[in-house]
Each structure stands twice: as structure tokens, then as C-alpha cells.
Structure 1
Amino acid sequence: MTRKLKIGITCYPTLGGSGVVATELGKLLAERGHEIHFITHSIPFRLGHFNKNIFFHEVEINDYYVFRYPPYDLSLASKMAQVAKMQELDLLHVHYAVPHAVCAYLAKQMIGDGFKTVTTLHGTDITVLAQDESLKDLIRLAINQSDAVTTVSNDLMRETRELLDITKPIDLTYNFVDKRVYYPRDAASLRADFVQPHEKVLMHISNFRPVKRVSDVVEVFAKVQERVPSKLLLVGEGPELSKIQWKIRQMGLEDRVHFLGKQEDVAQVISVADLLLLPSEKESFGLVALEAMACGVPTIGSTAGGIPELVTHGETGFLAPIGDVEAMAGFAVRLLKDAKLYDQFKRACIFRARHEFCDGRITAQYEQIYYRVLGIEAELEEPVCSE
């Protein structure tokens, strides 16, 4: 029997898809018998219920008076090394290049003796931060000094190689969702709070940053609701929110758009929707589209980044070039008006989410990477990816 591992995980614990995926991965690994140690500044918000194999180590920042800014990065690196030694960790798995992969590199130097680190790149750590000349060399160093590197899409892998001239092997490990949480929910009562029985629900979930093109969401919805009675539900908050609220008032759509703010139970909320709108100009993977897919909700989106690897055009949704709101609206109307076609898409969404992005299979991929970097031959159970 292959021995179980002691794994340190560092991620952003309070926001973003990278933290969600890292936390869910840690929980699944713990269920498989591994000992998981989260090393972050606060408890990951998705950590949930107690598990005997999960531990949390808080990073405390030394606010010494000579520091202009508290040195979180150095405190994190020091804590990583401390936990690794005290808990006799086998390896560290860090999510996001800056500062986590850099801190893991420093921790490796402190620990010595061939300690191993794995880095998962999630998106803006490459597509945005790696384009900053002041950070590029630092990110390249952290990646090259990692014992394994993974990306959440082929598109992100390509961009990582091109931007940073990375030649070392990179593993593709797609994001996933826990199928025990993400499945079509009965949301009839919640849906009735927003729409009449004959109306459809379009939804957008994001952090309302410019790259999400929420203005395009409103444009698409405006065209759809002229042909199909419908409402738009906007979930999340961010810098573009007030601008979008103004645009909706200018277009006279106030009575057809509802702002739901941040929501914790995404699976329940997304089950209210008939379609998800994701017209982003940058999207390394598009976790929200996978969450929607698992709940049986097709996506109308752009061809940006890794979205085409997730959403199969003409089967689980429709994709159009970035900014082509006319085409996106046309696709949405087509799906909403054809009940038979919509049902086909819904079933295809659930099947694809549970098989191509199976949580068990992707967790096993990470396990294989861990054992590989540790030089341990492993016999892993075949994951169950059933409907």
C-alpha cells in the first residue's frame, strides 16, 4: 500500500478561484487519508467542517517599527519552513506564483535536504503579474525552482512558456468542483422571488473587474430580453459595480436586473439560472462556468483563454469572439426558445462536468505528481466518475 503524505498547502484563503480550488483539493486529499496543513494568514473560507486530517497554521506578521510595510512574504516563507520541519511535511503545494511560489523557494532554502515544492499557476499570476518587468524575473525563478509546475489550462501553459521563456515540463491539471456539492438543485422557490413562471433567468457571477466585461453582459441581456421575457441576476461585487448600475439605469433596465451581491452557496444560486453569461476578455479557466455546468446550466461566453477548453461550443454552451454581443445574444435566444435543444445542453453539461472535470480524477492527478517528485512508486485507486 502506498504511504500517505503530509502536504502543506498555501493559497489566498479569502477570495478568488485559486483559493477555492486549493481548499477543495486539500479537503479531498484529506478524505483520501493524506495529512493536510494549510499555511495561510486566515482560515480558508471554503474549509468547512472539521476533519481529523486537516490542520491550519496561521501566518503572523511582524509589524516591527522599522518596516514601512509589514513583511508578509518573509513571514509566510518563515512559517512554511517552520511548519515543514515541525510537522515533517513531505512537500509544499502552493497556489499562485506571487508571493506563494517565491516564498516556497525561500522556504526550500531554509529547510534544505532536498525538500520538494509544487506550484500551481491559476491565471492572473501569469497573465497580469508576469507582464510586469519588475516581477518577471522573480516569477521565472520561482517557477524554475519548483519541483513540479501545473497550470489549469493549456492556454495558460502556452502563455506561461511564451511570457517567461519556461522550458521545463508543466503538468496540465484542470480545475474541478465537488460533485456532491455542485449538482442541479431544486431552486423553484428562490427563482419565484425574481421571475414569473414564463420568464427566463440569465446570470453573471464575477468580481466585477474590467476583464470580466460586465458591460457586455448588460448589452447581451438587453438584446435577449427584447425577444425572450427574462431577468438578469448579477452576483458578486467589485470595482465596476457602480459603473454597471449606472449603465442599467441609463438603459431603463432597473426593473429587469437584480443585484445579489456576494453569495456563499454558489451551487444553490446558480441553479436558479437558465444561462450563465461569461464574456470575459481574459479567463485562464473560468471556474464559474464549470460550477454552472455541474448544475446543468449552459454558458454563453467568449473564446478567451481557457474557456474553449471548458465549454464545448454547440454542446454545453455557445462561444463568440470577445465583444461580439450580437452573436452571444443570438445564441442565448436560440437556446432559450428551443426547449428540446436546451434539455440536450443541460444533460451534456452535467455529463461533461462529472466526467471530463471529475474531482476524483483530478485529485488523483495531483497525487501522482506528488509521488513523482518524491520519487515514490504509487499504486492509486481508479477514481469513480459516475453520473
Structure 2
Amino acid sequence: MMANKIRIAHIITRMDRGGAPDIVRLLFEKMPPDEFDLTLIYGRTACPSEKSKEFIRDLKEKAVVVSALRRDINPFYDLLACINIYCILRKGGFDIVHAHTAKAGALGRVAAKLAGVRKVIYSPHGHVFYGYFGYLASRAVVLAERFAALFCDKIHALTELEKNDLVSFGICPSSKIEVVYSGVDLGLLRPVYAADRLRPDGGVYTVGMFGRLEPVKGAGYFIEAAGIALKECDDVKFLIVGDGSLRNELEDKVRRAGLAEKIIFTGWREDIDAVMSGLDILVLPSLNEAVGRSALEAQAMGIPVVATKVGGVPEIVKDGVTGLLVGPGDAGALAEAILKLLKDDKKRSDMGQAARGWVDEKFSDRVMIKSFEEIYRKLARR
């Protein structure tokens, strides 16, 4: 056992669903405990998943909640959260602070430097410089990130595209950025190839999308694509796994189209892996996407992906090899790609097998953890 472990505080706004909490969980579960001593500082979540609640319980005193740390912007609570984080860091004797996502990233970086923490790394887990807000709001985000970048030593980008954007928008020089791809736990995501895939409805294919039902995720285009595909191939069911502000509107759209028996809304599910294992195709119809973690998880399970060519998606889905990429906002192109795979069992199976190998090579938790170990060691030595 090492005499002096590297003490790291991870700060995140919400430990709930999504790519950022999943990465944080993997870091706590997989980092060598004889070398790294990790503490979690997190904001309270209104409706945490069972996985999140169990994770927090297992951390015991290594999990510290800051109730004032919230996703929405509120000057009073933001100042209070920053003060609370500062006090925790000041007493904690941490070597490194690793702040995750925009709100915790901004407050955590400032608090860490004020508290005298030697090294700070920030993971945006994707940015919102374009594709989310209007010009003025996007400009404000860029200016805020430029300022906050002064308070950290490294910024972690999920893709090469994100790194290039950070540089081109003037957030920081490339020398300050480390690219580490999002990792998935291959031990939990067992491949179920096309020939063995469960078909609960006597031969009916299953196509699904996973994610928040918000405009940027493109669920409306998924529904339109499903309607087009069903005209040509009736033995398919489409699953929409997730929830959000658009759910009622999208359900009304499906009912008006007379497709309620073919397009099924499941809401959020705790058994995501089990649901995903029943898919023949995973669809990622986003209008903007940092990575698309559901696409990584599907490929890890040997499921081919139909996705939009946005953000970092082309770096994780190999077009024509592990899936098919189409332009964003094009329901017709989505439907065409879905039908192409549904009609060709061999292509679907070959892509699924290639996808598992691709994820194992570049996107396994093993590769991600090794990369972060090296980053932390270098920071601790400086």
C-alpha cells in the first residue's frame, strides 16, 4: 500500500442519470484504492435513480452533499454552494479537485483555487457553445467558460471535436486539454448478437432510442422515422426509453398518427441494460450530442447503431462498420437506415460483432481508467 495516496475530490451537480454520473461512478468503482483516495461532493437530486442512491450509500462518509448546489442559476444558492464547497475543500487536504459539468465545474473550480488546492481538472462532459441556445446566451456561455478556465490546470474533453471546439472558441490552449473517451463497463454489458436476441412478440423486431425527451435529443424525428418505416415493414416495435418536458406532446403525436401500439413510451427504467439487450437496432436521433453514451452501451452489447452525424458521434460510431450515420433532423434518412439494417440480418449481425470489438478497443472502462490514472499522477507530481 502506498504511504501517501493521491487525494481527489470529485464535484458534480447531480448524481443521477446520464453520461457524467456514469463516468464518476466508474472512477470511484475502478480506480486503484491503494493509490487514490476519492471523495464525492454533490448536489441534491430531486428524484435520484436507485443506482445513484445505492452508490451514495456505499460511499458513506466519502460522499458529501451540498444542498445549495443546484442545476438552475440562482445567485443566492450559487454563492452559498461555492462557500460550502470552499469550506469542504479547505478542510479536506485534497491534492486534486476534479469538477464535472457546467455548474459544479464553475463553482468547484473557483472554490478549489480559493481553498488552495494545488491542481484542478474540469470535465464539461460536452459543451453548449452552439446548437442549444440563441446567439446571446451561447456567447455568455463561452465568456463564462473562458473565465472559469483560468481557475483550472487541465480540461478533459470527451472527443477530439470537443477539444477542437474548446480551442477554436478561445476557452484555453490545446496544451491544457486532455482527450479521454467515455468508458463503459464491458463486464455489465454482455453482447447478445442478432441470432440470439430475444423476440418477445414472435419474430417482431425492436428498435429503440434512450434519452431525455427534450428538443435537442430529436425524439420527434425518431417518431416520424418510425411512422415511415412501419409503412414498409410492419413487424417492428419502437421503444422510447426516457422522460422529459416533451413526453406528453410526443405521446399525443403518436396517438394522432394511430401508432400507439407500435411506438411505446417506457419512461425511465432502472433495468436499462435488460431493456437494451432486447433491441435489434439502437437509434440516436440527436440534433447535437457530445458523445451519445447510449450508442456506446448498445455497441458494447453487440447492437448496431443508426445515429445522426452530429457532435462527437462520428468518433464513436464507425459509419458502415458498427452502424450507419445520417444527417440531423432528417426523418426520411433515419427511416431508410433503419430499414436497411432490418432487411439485412447478416449486415446487422456483422455490425453488432464489429461494434463490440470497437468499444473494447477504444471505449472500455479499462482504457478510460488508465488514462485518468496517468493524468492524476502527472498533476500530483507537479
TM-score category of the 2 structures, normalised to the smaller one: 0.7 to 0.9
For the structure 1 residues 35 and 125, does the alpha-carbon distance in structure 2 shift closer, same or farther, using more than 3 Å as the test?
A: farther
Q: Which residue does the alignment assign to 2:123? A: 120
CA distance in 1, matches of 2:237, 2:105: 43
**Counterpart among 160, 177, 196 of residue 184 in structure 2:** 177
CA distance in 2, matches of 1:93, 1:52: 17
Q: Is this contact kept in 2: 1:233–1:260, CA < 8 A? A: yes
Spell out, residue by residue over 1:280-301, the C-alpha distance to the aligned partner (whole angstroms, 9 max, x if none): 1100111111111111111111
Spell out, residue by residue over 1:180-207, the C-alpha distance to the aligned partner (whole angstroms, 9 max, x if none): 222236999x956xx5222100101110
Give the percent of matched residue pairs that are identical in Structure 1 and Structure 2. 24
**Counterpart among 317, 322, 328 of residue 328 in structure 2:** 322
For the structure 1 residues 187 and 41, does the alpha-carbon distance in structure 2 shift closer, same or farther, using more than 3 Å as the test?
A: farther
Q: Which residue does the alignment assign to 2:343? A: 337
2:103 equivalent to 1:99: yes
Q: Which residue does the alignment assign to 2:148? A: 142
CA distance in 2, matches of 1:247, 1:176: 35
Q: With structure 1 as the length reference, what TM-score do the two structures score? A: 0.86
Spell out, residue by residue over 1:329-350, the C-alpha distance to the aligned partner (whole angstroms, 9 max, x if none): 2222222222222111111111
For the structure 1 residues 312 and 187, does the alpha-carbon distance in structure 2 shift closer, same or farther, using more than 3 Å as the test?
A: closer
Q: Is this contact kept in 2: 1:202–1:230, CA < 8 A? A: yes
Amino acid in structure 2 at the alignment position of 1:56? A
Q: Is this contact kept in 2: 1:8–1:37, CA < 8 A? A: yes
Spell out, residue by residue over 1:82-133, the C-alpha distance to the aligned partner (whole angstroms, 9 max, x if none): 333333211110111x322221232234322x62110012124544479534
Q: Which residue does the alignment assign to 1:38? A: 40
Q: How is 1:1-387 mapped onto 2 (pairs within 5 angstroms)? A: 4-11=5-12, 12-29=14-31, 33-42=35-44, 45=49, 46-47=51-52, 48=54, 55-61=62-68, 71-96=76-101, 98-112=102-116, 115-127=118-130, 128=132, 131-169=137-175, 170-184=177-191, 195-228=200-233, 229-375=235-381
Q: How many residues align?
A: 367
Q: Is this contact kept in 2: 1:275–1:297, CA < 8 A? A: yes
User: Which deviates more, 28-37 or 270-279?
Assistant: 28-37
Deviation at 1:21, TM superposition (A): 1.7
Q: Is this contact kept in 2: 1:185–1:268, CA < 8 A? A: no
Higher-RCO chain (CA-CA 8 Å, sequence separation at least 6): 2
Amino acid in structure 1 at the alignment position of 2:183? F
Determine helix, strand or coil for the equivalent of 2:232. Answer: coil
Determine helix, strand or coil for the equivalent of 2:166. Answer: helix
Amino acid in structure 2 at the alignment position of 1:104? G
CA distance in 2, matches of 1:111, 1:346: 49
Q: Is this contact kept in 2: 1:34–1:53, CA < 8 A? A: no
Determine helix, strand or coil for the equivalent of 1:166. Answer: coil
Please report the RMSD computed on the Cα atoms of aligned residues, expressed in angstroms: 2.9
Deviation at 1:9, TM superposition (A): 0.6
Deviation at 1:69, TM superposition (A): 5.3
Determine helix, strand or coil for the equivalent of 1:204. Answer: strand
Amino acid in structure 2 at the alignment position of 1:215? G
Q: Is this contact kept in 1: 2:184–2:297, CA < 8 A? A: yes
Structure 2 stretches lacking a partner, 5+ long: none
Amino acid in structure 1 at the alignment position of 2:228? K
